[in-house]
Amino acid sequence: MEVSETDSELSQPQDDPVSVQQIIGEIKALEKELTEIQEVCGHTKYTVKNSQDSSSKCFSLRKICDSCNLDLGYPSRDEVDKWANS
Ligand SMILES: [Zn+2]
């Protein structure tokens, strides 16, 4: 399953009342699935990209795994330079 920020369309009409509990249950199930994928992933390939911090809402450069989308931490200075020059 691919997770992409560009796919998040929030303009859906909200005609059908959907159970909040059902949505929360689905989110929990998907998060569990994602965590399981991330736990077995070797994070062999990653991309340096601008990522929004969930707590501070600030954007910062992070290393994001290409396979599982896990935040692998801050890139090194070399990696930042490479990102800036690409
Ligand atoms: Zn990974």
Is residue 5 assigned to a domain? Answer: no
Mean pLDDT of the residues in the chain: 87
Beta bridge partners of 68: none
Question: Which residues have C-beta within 8 Å of that of residue 74, sequence separation ≥ 6?
Answer: 60, 61, 62, 63
* Model confidence at 2: pLDDT above 90: no
Question: Which residues have C-beta within 8 Å of that of residue 62, sequence separation ≥ 6?
Answer: 48, 49, 50, 51, 71, 72, 73, 74, 75
Is residue 78 assigned to a domain? Answer: yes
Span from the CA of 73 to the centroid of ligand 1 (angstroms): 12
Is residue 70 assigned to a domain? Answer: yes
Q: Which amino acid is at 73?
A: G
Q: Which one has a higher pLDDT value, 61 or 15? A: 61
Span from the CA of 19 to the centroid of ligand 1 (angstroms): 32
Q: What is the pLDDT of residues 34-78, one digit of tens each?
A: 999 999 999 999 999 998 877 889 899 999 999 999 999 999 999
Is residue 67 assigned to a domain? Answer: yes
Q: What is the pTM of this model?
A: 0.64
Is residue 1 assigned to a domain? Answer: no
Is residue 37 assigned to a domain? Answer: no
Span from the CA of 86 to the centroid of ligand 1 (angstroms): 22
Span from the CA of 54 to the centroid of ligand 1 (angstroms): 19
Structural domains in the chain (count): 1
**Which residue range is the domain that position 72 belongs to?**
43-86
Span from the CA of 3 to the centroid of ligand 1 (angstroms): 13
